[in-house]
Structure 1
Amino acid sequence: MSTMLLAQQAAETDINSGLAVIGYGLGAIGGGIGVGMIFSSVISGTARQPEAQGKLMNIGFTTFALVEVLALLGFVLFFLAG
């Protein structure tokens, strides 16, 4: 009798919230890596050509905003799934 109850409880559990947490965690890691690579490239490019710093920073902040928008979208989807 107890195995039947355990099987019913296992069938009733919702694993979507757990998967949403894992998915958002992976999304946040991806955004963090992306931002690190963006500014690493900006610093490297500025070290090679200091006169291009203004253009590189403009491109860096534009791509930073795009990456952060994707991370925030993942954050919103996390709450919608939960």
Structure 2
Amino acid sequence: MAVRSLLALMVFVFCLAEVFFQHVVRGGNRRLMQDIDCGGLCKQRCSLHSRPNVCTRACGTCCVRCKCVPPGTSGNREVCGTCYTDMTTHGNKTKCP
């Protein structure tokens, strides 16, 4: 009986760890991620760009797809993960500012 209880407890802990991993590490809580203000964040991100309208449009596309905009006006792209860093244009140039 004790072995069954221990086994049930281990399965329960494993399930809790999987839920935690989905929500925290992978960003599994999609409802919270959809509440991002892409327009405001991209406007701030592209404020110092030489072509702010082009930058904001590209940033908006990346934000909607990846649910992330890096902090600051340039750099820090790795903060948003491979979705943001690996997206390219038709000419194989990086898409996301």
TM-score, normalising length: structure 2: 0.40
TM-score of the superposed pair, with normalisation by structure 1: 0.46
Q: Which structure has greater helix proportion?
A: 1
Structure with bigger gyration radius: 1
